[in-house]
Amino acid sequence: IRTKTKKYELSGFILELPSEVADSRLIYKEARIVGGVDAPEGRIPYQASLRSWYNSHFCGGSVLNNRWILTAAHCTDGQSKYGISVVLGTTNRLSGGVKYSVDRIIIHKKYDSASIKNDISLIKVTKEIQFNNLVQPIQLPEADTGEGVELLLSGWGRISYPGSLPVHLQMINLTSVSVEDCQNIFIQINPVFNTQICSLTKYGEGACHGDSGGPLVSGKSVVGIVSWGMPCAKGYPDVYTRVYSFKDWILKTMEENKEEYPAPQKIIFPMN
């Protein structure tokens, strides 16, 4: 039995998808990197790991400065600042690094979980992040990202599907795809907006990559936040929040929330 397929031609790639998949609405918002390699220690010093109450890694993020972490809204939606923490300065998911408590979580007011639009949020940690050779901030982009741009993705996403999370931080080189090409591929699956970036590389890589919320980098700037895609390692583009589209929101939000909350007063009860 021959499987019916649909072909999509996009700048340098020909993508052939099974019809039942091309017409489906299978969308993941999970942490996966397929086809990557171990990141050398200190190579990705801006990488953040978001941890649950039980210290389990569940999303990635990017260090913007000494108090703020950039991540995806779908990572922090419904989360309490008391239930998560941020670990920096390690490539090992199970050990090392420095843990920071969370002061506040700010999700973009227009985040839409149904269409996964405006999938961006900021986390402010309770104390200043200490920078060293393993922990460094990454800058916001000065210009927008076009198609055919070389990109670097990192995270502790799954290295196979199905499979478990890797212990060591993974990284992979990708190439940006035009929004128009990406929209044509996903037209019957999920909308792709101009405020998003798509990436692709050879079959078996570039799809299902990502630690949700993690950094997509061009040069010295974080240009994307891992948002969503199709089932793993099938050669589909991945979709990221386009950081440049939200640069003003990021800067304004950090400025408006730079004040410190007062420390709780110690209450002394009289002894009888």
**Model pLDDT for residues 18-72, shown as the tens digit of each residue:** 444 444 444 555 555 777 889 999 999 999 999 999 999 999 999 999 999 999 9
CATH number at residue 121: 2.40.10.10
Residue 7 has pLDDT above 70, yes or no: no
Q: What is the pLDDT of residue 210?
A: 59
Task: Tell me which amino acid residue 220 is.
Answer: K
Query: 221 - beta bridge partners?
Result: 139, 218
Indicate whether 98 belongs to any domain. Answer: yes
Q: Are 191 and 238 in the same domain?
A: yes
Q: Which of 9-13, 65-69, 111-115, 219-223 has the lowest mean pLDDT?
A: 9-13
Q: State the Cα–Cα distance between residues 7 and 18, nearest whole angstrom.
A: 9
Indicate which residues carry an active-site annotation: 74, 119, 212
Residues 78, 125: one domain? yes
CA distance 218 to 28: 24
The pLDDT score that the predictor gives to residue 164 is 74
Cα–chain-centroid distance for residue 191? 19
133 and 145 both lie in a single domain: no
189 and 239, same domain (yes or no): yes
pTM for the model: 0.85
Per the CB < 8 A criterion, the answer to whether 32 and 158 are in contact is: yes
pLDDT recorded at residue 270: 53
Residues 168 and 95 grouped into a single domain: no
Q: Which tens digits make up the pLDDT trace of 190-203?
A: 999 999 999 987 54
Based on the number of CB atoms within 10 Å of its own CB, is 94 exposed (0-12), middle (13-18) or buried (19 or more)?
Answer: exposed
User: What is the mean pLDDT of the segment spanning 104-111?
Assistant: 98
Domain holding 84, by residue range, is: 45-137+249-256
Angle (CA) 208-108-256 rounded to 5° is 135
For residue 151, what is the enclosing H or E element?
Answer: strand 150-155
Measuring CA to CA, which residue among 87, 167, 203 is closest to residue 134?
87
Kindly state whether residues 206 and 95 are assigned to the same domain: no
Among 129, 28, 124, 123, which residue's Cα sits nearest to residue 76? 123
Mean pLDDT of the chain: 84
- 180 domain-assigned: yes
Q: Residue 260: its pLDDT value, please? A: 73
